[in-house]
Amino acid sequence: MTRTAVVHDYNHPQPGATSTLTLDEKVAREIRNNGISRPQGYTVSFHANPEVEKMHFGPKHPMKPWRLTLTNKLVLAYGMHDAMDMYKPRAADYDEMIEYHKDEYINFLRTITPKDKLEIENNMWPYNMGDDCPVFDGLYDYCSLYSGASLDAARKVTNNQSDIAINWSGGLHHAKRAEASGFCYINDIVLAILQLLYHHPRVLYVDLDVHHGDGVEQAFWSTDRVMTLSLHKYDKLQFFPGTGGMDDTGPRNNANPGAHHSLNVPLQDGIHDDEYIQLFKDVMDPCIATYRPTAVVIQCGGDSLGGDRLGCFNLNIRAHGACVEYTKRLGLPMLVLGGGGYTPRNVARLWAHETSVCIGTDLHPSLPSHTPFIEHFAPDKTLYPDLSHPARYDNKNSEKYLRDIVENVHEQLRYVEGSPSVQLQYVPPDLGALREEIEREIEQEKEAGDFGRRKKERGAGARGEYAH
């Protein structure tokens, strides 16, 4: 009986094609050539769920979640994943999102579909849904995915599992408590900061987006537990969202804890690298010295780069990254988030560079030849294209104007002398939720028929302490 060979020599079906092993070898070579290794003395984590990359706002909408695909492919092609803890976070659930947002708003997001949109168009306006914030397939999944990644990153920081946690899908800073705004539906930044406040007495929020971080500022308007610092283009009438002027520093009443804790750096068109970096240092240094934050959240919106579809600055990638580097040197627990950015190839370059800043390595400017979708970075295929020449916008920021901004920040910080001291076991309430809880308690007390006595006790140290 003739024996049939069971094992045959394997021939690749496409001779010369790249195999998985060869790709691994190419990535390993990039790791060696760029000197990539795990940071010494601190841990960096990278939080990304690939499902969020599949979402689509519509063919003409400037927000392209696909920019995250380009970013992640660059991170992997350079081999930076080898230096970080990589996490695929779960989606945020309903209860996590109503920590800040109104429950009826979250219910709206999770039930609305493009088909329903035509039927209930008149009911969409209270939530500010429309052209900027369209209803698309998978909207609720999109919101829960990017929010879940920011929450996961914040928890890794508070649990001391990570010193620097990155989520490029987050940073959607315009969303309000009960409405969408500026391409943002859920304010993942607010949710993440609320997590940090469980363990950190003071959090500094820094916003590098070309648009004012109004949603985060508004959320923490009346507390001294969070200081917001936003560098952005400001034009009250002609540039979204029209807020964040030099005099917008928090509540006008100095007795309000949040007074002077909202710091704004309103810029004009066309600022260049050196001015921006120096300005950032000049406003950050006094904030750190005066407020003494115990954690930092930085929003790295890429629309402040030169050539952005919706931006008006002339910044290059290294200048933007220099602000992240400067913040990293503070040595504080740090949450690094994405944000705006509407020229996907440049956003991907920026966030890949700032990932390298976080892990402490300098990348070779030539993109790895095995990078997927490398044709989208043509013709130069470099990590650092010149985005400021020729400049699309004339620089309208005079030296005097920039000095005035710095002086104004120093003036506001004079009122912040003596940072708030909060015991670490204190759990910060969401003020809106606390108000609703108190209102529910009052209703319950009314029903119990003992409203008068307990109302008086509410002002005493504890229930039962008040005596007639």
Number of H helices, E strands in the chain: 14, 8
Residues 6+ apart with CB under 8 A from 399: none
- Active site annotation includes 353: no
In whole angstroms, give the CA distance from residue 110 to residue 407: 46
> Which entry of 211, 212, 261, 353 is annotated as an active-site residue?
212
- Let me know the angle formed at the C-alpha of 381 by 379 and 382, rounded to the nearest 5 degrees: 125
**Residue 408 — left, alpha, or beta (φ > 0 → left; ψ -120 to 50 → alpha)?**
alpha
Residues 6+ apart with CB under 8 A from 175: 101, 181, 184, 185, 186, 187, 215
Residues 6+ apart with CB under 8 A from 354: 300, 320, 321, 324, 336
List beta partners, residue 47.
87
Residue of 288, 363, 365 lying closest to 329 (CA atoms): 288
Q: What is the gyration radius of the CA atoms in the chain, in angstroms?
A: 25
Q: Report helix, strand or coil for 263.
A: strand
Residues 6+ apart with CB under 8 A from 387: 305, 306, 307, 314, 315, 316, 317, 346
Please state the separation of Cα 145 from the chain's center in Å. 14
Instruction: Give the per-residue SS3 of 176-234.
Output: CCCCCECCECCCHHHHHHHHHCCCCCCEEEEECCCCCCHHHHHHCCCCCCEEEEEEEEC
In whole angstroms, give the CA distance from residue 360 to residue 36: 8
H helix runs in 34-112, sequence order: 67-78, 94-97, 103-111
Beta strands in 41-148 (DSSP E): 44-47, 85-87
Enter the tokens of residue 176.
């309000």
Catalytic residues: 212
